[in-house]
Amino acid sequence: MTTTYWTHVDGPLGPLLLTAAPTGELTSLTVPGQKKATVVRDDWTHDPGPFREAERQLAAYFAGDLKDFRLPTRAVGTPFREKVWAALDDVPYGGTVTYGEIAARIGAPRAAVRAVGGAIGANPLLIVRPCHRVIGADGSLTGYAGGLERKVRLLTHEGALPRAQNP
């Protein structure tokens, strides 16, 4: 049995739940109310120690001082999901990409767009692995496991969407 470490980190999107493997790799980052969110189990160990660097980088990201996370991560999925998640890592800060473009990047046929969407929806590392940067082919802000309001906030924070004008 391997130990899973967990902690909460406060942020502008609410308290973020982070989990890590015994070797320190970040295994999940979820937001309150997220679809299929990680749930803390009784046999997990609450310890903020393994998350100090993740907390520092998240604070820098939300302060506008960090554009690329450099954290050891370990997300386990099917080979297809792992290819999709790797493609997400290449979407630059402030940029967006469509589901079809992700499919093309991994060499999947256009018909695989729905499967790509499913893999993106299963991303266990919100914010760190930028699934919020994926939009519909028509430019619409389609689903986000953390909620569309948070997707808008993240894309606005990164400059991919214009900030709301004050009246």
Residue 22: other Cβ atoms inside 10 A = 11
Question: Measured between alpha carbons, how far is 114 from 110 in angstroms, rounded to an integer?
Answer: 9
Given the residues 91, 108, 119, 131, select the one marked as catalytic: 131
Active site residue 155: no
User: Amino acid identity, residue 151?
Assistant: K
- For 52, 70, 74, 107, 110, the CA distances from 100, given in Å and listed in that order, are 36, 27, 25, 11, 6
Contacts of the segment 18-23: beta carbons below 8 A, 24+ positions apart: 18/51, 18/54, 19/44, 20/50, 20/51, 21/74, 23/74
First-to-last C-alpha distance (Å) of the chain: 57
Residues labelled catalytic = 131
